[in-house]
Structure 1
Amino acid sequence: MFNGRLMNWRSRIFLALLILLVGVHWASAQYVIKGRVTDASNGDPVPFASVGLVGLNLGTTTNFQGEYTFHSKVLTDSLFVSFVGYKKRVKFIDKKKAVQEVDFQMEPAQKALQEVIVYSGENPAFKILRQVVKQRDLHDRNKLTAYEYDSYTKMELDVDNISEKLRNTKIMREIESSIKKFEKEAGEDGKPVIPTYISESISKFYYRESPRRKKEKIIKTNIKGVGVQDGGFISQLVGGNLIANYNFYQNYVPFFGKDFASPIGDNWKGNYKYFLGDTVNVDGHVCYQLDFDPKNPLDLVFTGQMWIDTTSFALVQIDAAIDKQANLNFIDKIKISQELEQVADGAWLPSRTRFLIDIEELTKGSAGMLLKMYISNKGFIVNKPKAVEFYDLTSEVAEDAKEPDPEYWKHARYEPLSRQDLTAFALIDSVKNLPIVRTYVEIAEIALSGYKKFNDIEVGPYLSSIAVNRLEGARFRLGFRTNSNFDKHWILRGNVGFGTKDLVPKYSIEVNYLFSKAKWTIAGLRHSYDIERVGLTPELIGDNRLFYAFTRWGAFSGAFFRRESEAFFSTEVTKGLSFTAQMNTRSFDPLFRFQYRLNPELGNASPVQDYYQESFVTLEARFARGETFIMNGNERITLATKRIPVVTFRYQRGFKGFLGGDFDYERFTLKAYQTFRVGTFGRSDYTLSMGYTPSNLPAPLLFPHLGNETLFFVRSAYSTMNYFEFVSDQFISLQYNHNFEGLLFNRIPLIKKLKWRFIASGNLLWGSQRKENRDIMKDVNNPLKSKFLDMYSFDSLNPSIPYAEVGYGIDNIFKLFRIQAFHRLSYMDHGSPKAFRLMASVNFSF
């Protein structure tokens, strides 16, 4: 009996050991497959792609780096990878290997007709999307009072889509060996790309909601690039968070001046088609997988996938792309991939963002450009806003930011560099020192900036170097400016010029001192002597330098010599609010027959004068809420797009007898400019202007309204108004422009492939002159038979009848040109009006 029991226990122990050994055997027989999935056209990782065994329901998805790893107890003979927008790939695998690495290069797929799916009732994705929109305010990071985080950014700019013709040029042959080396890193079926710039940075990003402020402090940078010279300016751009802080919880995702409808915005149902997939575990969150496609692929919308948490209905991951079908110029593809992380108070912040823009080749024999950006964030702190003045300097670079030491970066990076990144760094070093490459870079810099740089002095702008007109003959001009290499505070500018016909030297010299970049406090002195035109002076034309340069060609009517001296001081007292004070003295010496009455109350008995001198003080306040800048040496460049009204108020006070001034006067002007989205109907902008002077002055000192007799459209001018046709001492005007951004033409067969954009304009102007001002100029020039005043009247508008004109046209013709027709609707019997005018312009935009 005892022996039987003993044998029974021995049998049980043996059986247990056998089961354990079999389990160990099976565990040891488990297969491991890992690899990396990249885009064959650019080498960029493909996050969230599905990888699995053919014939079995086993697999995984790639992480944000395009990497995957999964374990399986069984293998089939092949492995597949698939993702929206790419061709499915299949590769054979070795069933005898326990551990193997399989990489995939995926080729973008042409859009095919979607399968028609008929639901018995409502699309099940709609119920999920309604909850996402309903819960949006709980998850949107803009609901936080403030947030900040540490950030690592890697940015790369490549040349891609290299044609055979271009590869046979001299510059390409010079770097042929380097290109071949990099081609091997692109994958067995990848396309060659040439990196020209790569950078990485460690930064700290800060955001405050009210008042809305943001700031990025660059702590360390590592920059290598062909033609990169100004490390200070480039260092501000490499942070990335100022330009790639995309938020899909907003109705529109803006970049490059365009607004792309979010797939979880208010109009989600009108813009997209949705397909509900399986639930997926994403970093511990069980998520719905939703595919989304545009209803009209030519609209400014995305295609891709997103993952929504099944419990909170928060956006956990998104992969959104825009292909070349969209109504965009010069773009092959835009792609945004983003992972979000939940922080305190329920909001979700971007933990990792990958941005790619593939710019197409401009001509058949050229090449394209590829911009890739990767941002990884950690250390989130929320609802602890800094003092408002902390955000004054939007982008700040630490004094010791430049850190090329490889040992530092080995530990500072959040993830190690890929093999491709390492090759890119090496290739840039070999390319940037080639003489032919440096020559091409210099030519590109001159074309973009208009200046030729000589270390600390830049010569230009070349746009204004030559003109031909009736008064000066051939006009030649040479200008210069200093940059931050010359001095970080002192700024010098100047130019000299002369005409071959009048032989009168013209010149300008300016000295500025920059006290503070944080408050942008600057003071300066300027003196100039040059020829100008009534109503077409720089202060009236504004920043349109191309139009100003063009006005110096041709007949040059209304010309006068102006000698001017100016002292100014400007400061930004708080973010978005700046004040400027100026003191000027100007002369007006006309080159046409011009006179005004000194005592208009005496009528024809009044003495007259054909020139004048004015001395005045100007006080200006400018409010631009939310406007952000980055510094380019001793200059600053705005990053804002004026989506909130920019308001400028100006007061001028003239003094008679002071520095030879001939008039006491006051002038008040107010101007507001804004661009805004009109839902799905496109984007509008308007300029609202008002002016008033209670003083009695000659017509050129009132408000000459800007006419346009050229064939070129100018936004600030009245297209059917002649030069100097109307002048007011009080006025209000509204200039409105709307771009439908393909809304109409996108839906017309055949035409929609041209990517035209319908545009419309309308200008209204109410103005008048008091009798006292009209009497100053009344009949005084008639006896002189002035040809100028026969053509240009300085007339007054009827205060009860507005000047009105409307326009319409086509934008984006050959991706570059705009044609507009304008109709004059009032003052049809005034002089020789242009009731209809057809105008053209060059309009570069994406």
Structure 2
Amino acid sequence: MKLKFSLLLAFFMYCTVFTSEGQFLIKGRVTDAKNGDPIPFASVGLVGVSQGATTNFQGEFTLNSKYSADSLFASFVGYKKRVKKITRGAKLQDIDFQLEPTGREMAEVIVYSGENPAFKILRGVIRNREKNDRSKLSAYEYDSYAKMELDVDNISEKFKERKVMKDIAQAIQKFEKIAGEDGKLIIPTYISESVGKFYYLENPQRKKETITKTNIKGIGVKDGSLISQLVGGNLVANYNFYQNFVGFFGKDFASPVGENWKGNYTYFLGDTVNVDGHVCYQMDFDPKNPMDLVFRGQMWIDTTSFALVQIDAAVDKAANLNFIDKIKISQELEQTSSGAWLPARTRFLIDLEEITKGSAGMLLKMYISNKDFIVNQPHELGFYDLTTEVAEDAMQPNPEFWKYARHEPLSTQDLMASALIDSVQNLPVVRTYIEIAELVLSGYKKFNDIEVGPYISSFALNKIEGARFRLGFRTNANFDKHWILRGNVGFGTKDLVPKYSAEVNYLFSKKKWTVAGLRHSYDIERVGLTPELIGDNKLFYSFTRWGAFSGAFFRRESEAFFSSELYKGLTVRTSLNTRSFDPLFRFQYRLNPELGRASAVQDYYQETFATVELRFAKNETYIMNGNERITLATKRIPVITLKYQHGFKGFLGGDFTYDRVTLKAYQTFRIGNLGRSDYTFTAGYTPSNLPAPLLFPHLGNETFFFVRSAYSTMNYFEFVSDQYASIQYNHNFEGLLFNRLPLIKKLKWRFIASGNILMGSQRSANREMMKDVNSPLRSKFLDQYSFDSLDPNKPFAEVGYGIDNIFKILRVQAFHRLTYLDHGNPQRFRLMASVNFSF
């Protein structure tokens, strides 16, 4: 009887403790201890019990267990495994894990004879890419929610002693608690969220994002017009791993499912797992050379369609990158009705390292959730013209709207970040830091509707002006959404000549970016180094104001212009100009060259001309910054500019009738694993007889500073052409060579190579115009230039090579002149340096 009772009691206890399904419920979240980012697909389980769970895309897990245990573990490849005590028998527990990143550790690798079994699966991915890749779709669109956060991280004890940190100590303590016992402190400085729609057209390729509502909080955020377009996220973080290279920040990272997957990665095939109803192969991938621009991580591939269902790809500090601790992209894809897969959720993280010891780093986190996909239903082409559209009431606060608009509710950390920003942004010391940062990044000091600057042009020192001082300003959208005013005044302490510029523009349409304006200026310029030749390189233009200042002349100019984007990517600009040329160097030209030495000469001229310019930049996208727009394109498709000018003699004082045509093409492109190249092709032709400065003076460089658009071994104004064609080619091997050299590879140097070729000539009529008249003995000016002609059968050629990324910012190049070695007093070899900031 006692035996039966004991057996019955034991059976009852078994049923109570071990067979009550769902009796023990454990919930929690697994995050990166360093940056707080969720870790999707981490393994969570009870120690000693063969039951567990995996985290979802938000890093959250729910574990229902019929077994009782006293500890719980969390693990993921690339992180240290963590074990935590739990309360045995408790029905409901909340347990969070913060995992410390570590080196790649494979617990066990089984090597079989023959081919790696992962290779067969990867070939299936490549074979089925055409039907799974979103590029097969003629168009798609979806509703999108985006959240972005900018934090200060890597906070040292020394940094905590600074005044700004002491002023927010109370708020920091709250954030330290939410980071968890194993987490590192991060301080949010900006957080935003937006809802809208994203549209894509494949042919011709167009992107458009509409922002319905934005909710922005940030330290120092004053004008939301620019930020409200950036918070959408799909324009900048719409990554496609089916492409051979995934590009961001001007770099190209080889995809683990790209064409050269076998040459870049090592693969480890794991178990099959269920991902949202899809049975998937789980596969780890490691770079063969960690210093190359490649990823490491995990991906999940559907066993039937061989589609990429989810990927977790990271770039760590070992890669040949600057200022980066870590980059991570996590993406979850969803199959559409057409069979192609679109990104349902994406996380992007970039962790910037501390610039100096004792400082802090920066952390950018972005989360994008997409739903309600519509495919192969394109809109009319004009619908995509405006890349970004922001609703007029997008930034108006509406708490009720956000309760239902978010795809997922805000986390506790998000709510705490918002509260911390509110308490910090009005501190005086914080506002001072913000104003300094604005000045450094934009070059302008903002005063509500007027901005003063740019500061890089405020002072210069040269032999003609002495100390040059300049004060400039511009209005922004707070002043007026359509009227734009710009101007500056300046003078030199040596010449004491006042210089000035005034400009007024009117913005008719943002959709076609239609602008008209008037401008008048009087200033000192340099032959071949004028703003219209240098372009938008304001930093280089400011440098040309320093030093010997050869080839200088005073110019008075008036301009009326009109510009509009006729067709997406095609912009037309027309203008009418009048300019004077009053040289400060030995310069004369013959008024009647056919008379030879008997001709009268003149040392100045006036020109009046009309210009029509066409610029074609296919797929170029912009964001609006008030009444300015900023390009997001990386020029990976040729940008072509065609310009025609016609001069009018006798109209507004013009001295010449002439015609001039110029063509310019610029492109940057990838050459597989060999790195990235860029070229600039230019050509010009004028059939008219003109003084040398009105022809095509080729840009030489007699300094030790490298300038991409100049010929590094050519002297200033050494050659002038009335017809020419040139190509300037540069290639950066992106560490391909140095990454494989012991010891040197730790320096993260990058080998670069260049080559420039120029063909040109001058007709005899133009040579006669300048012959024997540029060396007058009574001239008060010391410098003079030959303005010689190139031999039409002999190109000017030079080659260069060097090292980029020295101390992360310096580039040193050597150039060799290959032709015209006996022309004048040439520099056959020149060593040059430049400052080059890049990731």
- How far apart are residue 28 of structure 1 and its match? 5.6
After superposition, give the CA deviation of every residue in 1:694-721 in whole Å (9 maximum; x if it has no partner).
Answer: 0000000000001111111111111111
Match of 2:80 among 61, 77, 87: 87
Residue type at the aligned position of 1:440: Y
Q: Distance in 2 between matches of 1:246 and 1:560?
A: 50
Residues 37 and 559 of structure 1, relative CA distance in 2, 3 Å threshold? same
Match of 1:671 among 654, 664, 670: 664
Q: Determine the structure 2 residue equivalent to 1:254.
A: 247
Q: Distance in 2 between matches of 1:40 and 1:545?
A: 42
Q: Determine the structure 2 residue equivalent to 1:5.
A: none
- How far apart are residue 180 of structure 1 and its match? 1.3
Q: Determine the structure 2 residue equivalent to 1:524.
A: 517
Q: Distance in 2 between matches of 1:670 and 1:462?
A: 33
Give the SS at the match of 1:345.
coil
Give the SS at the match of 1:644.
coil
- How far apart are residue 580 of structure 1 and its match? 0.4
Q: Distance in 2 between matches of 1:585 and 1:314?
A: 62
- How far apart are residue 25 of structure 1 and its match? 8.9
Which residues in structure 2 correspond to 1:285-364 (within 5 Å)? Answer: 285-364=278-357
Match of 2:488 among 492, 495, 502: 495
Moved more, 568-577 or 532-541: 532-541
- How far apart are residue 605 of structure 1 and its match? 0.5
Match of 1:609 among 602, 606, 616: 602
Residue type at the aligned position of 1:339: E
Residue type at the aligned position of 2:402: W
Structure 1 stretches lacking a partner, 5+ long: 1-14
Which residues in structure 2 correspond to 1:558-573 (within 5 Å)? Answer: 558-573=551-566
- How far apart are residue 174 of structure 1 and its match? 1.3
Q: Distance in 2 between matches of 1:173 and 1:233?
A: 32
- How far apart are residue 31 of structure 1 and its match? 2.0
Q: Distance in 2 between matches of 1:208 and 1:326?
A: 34
Q: Determine the structure 2 residue equivalent to 1:395.
A: 388
2:74 touches 2:83 (CA, 8 Å); kept in 1? Answer: yes
Q: Distance in 2 between matches of 1:616 and 1:833?
A: 35
2:514 touches 2:565 (CA, 8 Å); kept in 1? Answer: yes
Sequence identity of aligned pairs in percent? Answer: 78
Which residues in structure 2 correspond to 1:536-575 (within 5 Å)? Answer: 536-575=529-568
Q: Determine the structure 2 residue equivalent to 1:219.
A: 212
2:17 touches 2:68 (CA, 8 Å); kept in 1? Answer: no
Match of 2:590 among 589, 597, 606: 597
1:105 touches 1:190 (CA, 8 Å); kept in 2? Answer: yes
Q: Determine the structure 2 residue equivalent to 1:184.
A: 177
Q: Distance in 2 between matches of 1:117 and 1:793?
A: 74
Match of 1:802 among 779, 795, 798: 795
After superposition, give the CA deviation of every residue in 1:531-564 in whole Å (9 maximum; x if it has no partner).
Answer: 0111111111222222211111111111111000
After superposition, give the CA deviation of every residue in 1:155-195 in whole Å (9 maximum; x if it has no partner).
Answer: 00000011222211112211111111111111111111110
Residue type at the aligned position of 2:600: P
TM-score, normalised to structure 2, is: 0.97
Residue type at the aligned position of 1:507: Y
Residue type at the aligned position of 1:379: D
Q: Determine the structure 2 residue equivalent to 1:146.
A: 139
Q: Determine the structure 2 residue equivalent to 1:720.
A: 713
Q: Determine the structure 2 residue equivalent to 1:843.
A: 836
- How far apart are residue 283 of structure 1 and its match? 0.4
After superposition, give the CA deviation of every residue in 1:734-753 in whole Å (9 maximum; x if it has no partner).
Answer: 00000000000000000111
TM-score, normalised to structure 1, is: 0.96
Q: Distance in 1 between matches of 2:264 and 2:779?
A: 61
Q: Determine the structure 2 residue equivalent to 1:426.
A: 419
- How far apart are residue 443 of structure 1 and its match? 0.4
Which residues in structure 2 correspond to 1:124-203 (within 5 Å)? Answer: 124-203=117-196
Residue type at the aligned position of 1:362: I
Q: Determine the structure 1 residue equivalent to 2:261.
A: 268
Match of 1:78 among 67, 71, 79: 71
1:558 touches 1:788 (CA, 8 Å); kept in 2? Answer: no
Q: Distance in 2 between matches of 1:101 and 1:257?
A: 42
Q: Distance in 2 between matches of 1:613 and 1:639?
A: 39
Residues 312 and 111 of structure 1, relative CA distance in 2, 3 Å threshold? closer
Moved more, 783-792 or 198-207: 783-792
Residue type at the aligned position of 1:798: D
Match of 1:618 among 597, 611, 629: 611
Residue type at the aligned position of 2:651: F
Match of 2:645 among 652, 664, 667: 652
Residue type at the aligned position of 2:66: K
Q: Determine the structure 1 residue equivalent to 2:3.
A: none
| Corresponding residue pairs, total | 830
- How far apart are residue 78 of structure 1 and its match? 2.1
Residues 750 and 717 of structure 1, relative CA distance in 2, 3 Å threshold? same
After superposition, give the CA deviation of every residue in 1:571-608 in whole Å (9 maximum; x if it has no partner).
Answer: 00111001000100000011122110000000000111
1:593 touches 1:784 (CA, 8 Å); kept in 2? Answer: no
1:781 touches 1:789 (CA, 8 Å); kept in 2? Answer: no
Moved more, 453-462 or 168-177: 168-177
Q: Distance in 2 between matches of 1:348 and 1:789?
A: 69
Give the SS at the match of 2:77.
coil
Residue type at the aligned position of 1:443: I
- How far apart are residue 782 of structure 1 and its match? 3.4
Residue type at the aligned position of 1:838: L
- How far apart are residue 729 of structure 1 and its match? 0.3
Q: Distance in 2 between matches of 1:497 and 1:402?
A: 40
Residue type at the aligned position of 1:366: S
- How far apart are residue 215 of structure 1 and its match? 0.4
1:146 touches 1:385 (CA, 8 Å); kept in 2? Answer: yes
1:710 paired with 2:703, answer: yes
Residue type at the aligned position of 2:194: S
Q: Determine the structure 1 residue equivalent to 2:825.
A: 832
Give the SS at the match of 2:246.
strand
Residues 29 and 517 of structure 1, relative CA distance in 2, 3 Å threshold? closer
Structure 2 stretches lacking a partner, 5+ long: 1-7
Q: Determine the structure 2 residue equivalent to 1:404.
A: 397
2:685 touches 2:723 (CA, 8 Å); kept in 1? Answer: yes
After superposition, give the CA deviation of every residue in 1:263-289 in whole Å (9 maximum; x if it has no partner).
Answer: 000000000000000000000000000
Residues 226 and 604 of structure 1, relative CA distance in 2, 3 Å threshold? same
Q: Determine the structure 2 residue equivalent to 1:41.
A: 34
- How far apart are residue 787 of structure 1 and its match? 9.0
Residue type at the aligned position of 1:58: Q
2:18 touches 2:66 (CA, 8 Å); kept in 1? Answer: no
